[in-house]
Amino acid sequence: MEFDLTKLTPDVRKLSDMKNVIYDKKWLKTADNVELYYMYRGLEEMDGLRYDVTLIPAKMLGSEFVKTKGHYHIGDWQEIYTVIKGQAIYLMQKKNNKEKIKDVYFVKAKKGESIIIPSGYGHVTINPSETQELKIGNWISEDCESDYSDFERLQGACYYYAKKGPASAKASASDESSAGQVGEAKWIKNENYKDIPPLREEKPLKSIPQNLDFLRQ
């Protein structure tokens, strides 16, 4: 699906909206309140589902790659994302309780590939490029609501994706996971969580499923 986004007004996520989930706190202290990504919601509707598009320009948040704020779905809703342009990394985590994570994994996806957010998993989308914009589309139920509170309270997801770690950040550089290491980029544990499992990689879907009934519960 193609949409002329230049004629539409997006919801804009600025750095001030993200201050509680940024890894590089030292950089954050002097950073300008720039726009980080743009959400165009409800571009298409289909039997109780809505289609959104998100643009995430390439940008470094200090040492961390630009990302979405991160949220859980209220209820058992699933969601499907497809990369339209660029490359994406999706980090998904499932909690035992408010500080302990039961499962966490990431998926790297390129143009045309899709990923499903399973029921009960919080998720963050990362643009791992320093030069290329990321454009993604998603289908989700119109009845689904998002909960950002755990990500805000714990200062992000249970892993950060960064080039190098500032000394001021409360995170464990010594516990970096080699599973997701790409070039100089590394996954770094967020020590605000009490229990974090090892990070693993899963593969994306090569195409979007024809039947999206699973998104309607």
The domains of the chain are located at 9-157
Q: Which residue has the higher pLDDT, 123 or 7?
A: 123
Q: What is the pLDDT of residue 177?
A: 46
Q: Is the pLDDT of residue 182 over 80?
A: no
9-23, 135-149, 177-191, 197-211: segment of lowest average pLDDT = 177-191
In sequence order, the β-bridge partners of residue 46 are 49
Q: Is the pLDDT of residue 24 over 90?
A: yes
CATH superfamily, domain 9-157, is: Jelly Rolls (2.60.120.10)
Q: What is the pLDDT of residue 98?
A: 75
Give the pairing type, strands 114-117 and 35-46: unpaired
Q: Which of 168, 177, 180, 170 is nearest to 196 (CA)?
A: 177
Instruction: Report the C-alpha gap between 115 and 113 in whole angstroms.
Output: 7
Summary mean pLDDT of the chain: 92
Q: What is the pLDDT of residue 59?
A: 97
Q: What is the pLDDT of residue 70?
A: 98
Q: Which residue has the higher pLDDT, 118 or 165?
A: 118
Q: Give tens-digit pLDDT for 44-58.
A: 999 999 999 999 999
Q: What is the pLDDT of residue 170?
A: 55
Q: Is the pLDDT of residue 173 over 70?
A: no
Q: Is the pLDDT of residue 169 over 60?
A: no
Contact status, residue 31 vs residue 112, Cβ threshold 8 Å: no
Q: What is the pLDDT of residue 61?
A: 97
